[in-house]
A and B are shown apart, each in its own frame.
Chain A
């Protein structure tokens, strides 16, 4: 008898993988972008199942609210909407299909060969430990990453700005 958690895991991972397949195999780039929404939402669900509530919320805020909007903007700005048809051509899948399948089989067979020692944990909220870790052990990476973000922000604006004489 599968427990509720098992059912949730199966449902969420099937949803995630189905929309990831939609991203990979869709022939229209806009449909790929909307499938990506399902993948991000499914990944947020997996984070919740892994008791990382803070990461799940961050995932929804940044990926769905930020990156996906950026991607849809880029699609709209760069594709002539008239030829949305076949805007997402696939090339050389004769090489890519066997290669990706081989990588998947290799990864699965290595990762599930049963060498992990695992401690099963109940659900606990990770917000307080993450907050403490960010301001104690990981303070320097935290500050560096904010400088990286500032650099990316300014860099992105410099790249797309129009030259004004």
Chain B
């Protein structure tokens, strides 16, 4: 029988991979993919906890809201990336430093 712990290990590794991606990428779209990995790990965790708590509905609903918010985040962030590219001709996250004092 697959236990809760095996799901937790899988999502911990998924989270670490997403964290690595966020820390190393220069490409802003690549950064966003890391954020998506982290969000996915979190939502699998919510569902796993609710499943092993007697199929409680709360984790499922929370995970649903998480997916919706991830969609909103992706839409706005990618719009920002596209307009960044139109403005500066680059999507390198290091070069977008106009606000630097």
Residues of A whose CB lies within 8 Å of any CB of B are 3, 5-6, 9, 13, 16-17, 20-21, 23-24, 29, 32-33, 36, 39-40, 43, 46-47, 49-52, 54-55, 58-59, 62-63, 66-67, 70-71, 73-75, 77-79, 87-93, 95-97, 99-101, 103-104, 107-108, 111-112, 114, 116, 118-121, 124, 126, 129-130, 132-134, 138, 141, 145, 148-149, 151-153, 155-157, 159-160
Q: Is the CB of A112 within 8 A of B44?
A: no
Q: Is the CB of B37 within 8 A of A20?
A: yes
CB within 8 A of B53: which of A55, A90, A118? A118
Report the bound CA distance from A46 to B10 in whole Å: 10
Residues of B whose CB lies within 8 Å of any CB of A are 1-10, 12-21, 23-27, 29-30, 32-34, 36-37, 40, 43-44, 47-48, 50-55, 57-58, 60-61, 63-65, 67-76, 78-83, 85, 91, 94
The answer to whether A119 and B17 touch (CB under 8 A), given A40-B40, A71-B29, is no
Q: Which of B29, B43, B70 has the most CB of A within 10 A?
A: B29
Specify the main secondary structure of chain A where it touches its partner: helix
Known: A39-B37, A148-B69. 8 other contacts (CB 8 A): A9-B2, A16-B10, A20-B14, A39-B14, A67-B70, A95-B23, A104-B16, A107-B8
| Chain A-chain B contacts (Cβ-Cβ < 8 Å), number | 240
CB within 8 A of B60: which of A55, A121, A148? A55
Q: Is the CB of B55 within 8 A of A23?
A: no
The answer to whether A96 and B67 touch (CB under 8 A), given A52-B60, A71-B78, is no
Q: Which of A92, A99, A108, A148 has the most CB of B within 10 A?
A: A108
Residue of A at shortest CB range from B12?
A107
Q: Is the CB of A118 within 8 A of B52?
A: yes
Instruction: Sort A-B residue pairs by CB-CB distance and give the 3 closest, nearest first.
Output: A104-B16, A152-B72, A107-B12
Q: Is the CB of B51 within 8 A of A29?
A: no
Q: Which of A73, A77, A99 has the most CB of B within 10 A?
A: A77
The answer to whether A78 and B20 touch (CB under 8 A), given A70-B74, A121-B52, A153-B75, is no
Report the bound CA distance from A87 to B37 in whole Å: 20
CB within 8 A of A71: which of B2, B32, B68? B32
Q: List 10 A-B contacts (CB under 8 A).
A: A46-B7, A47-B44, A63-B70, A70-B78, A88-B30, A91-B94, A95-B23, A104-B15, A130-B61, A148-B68
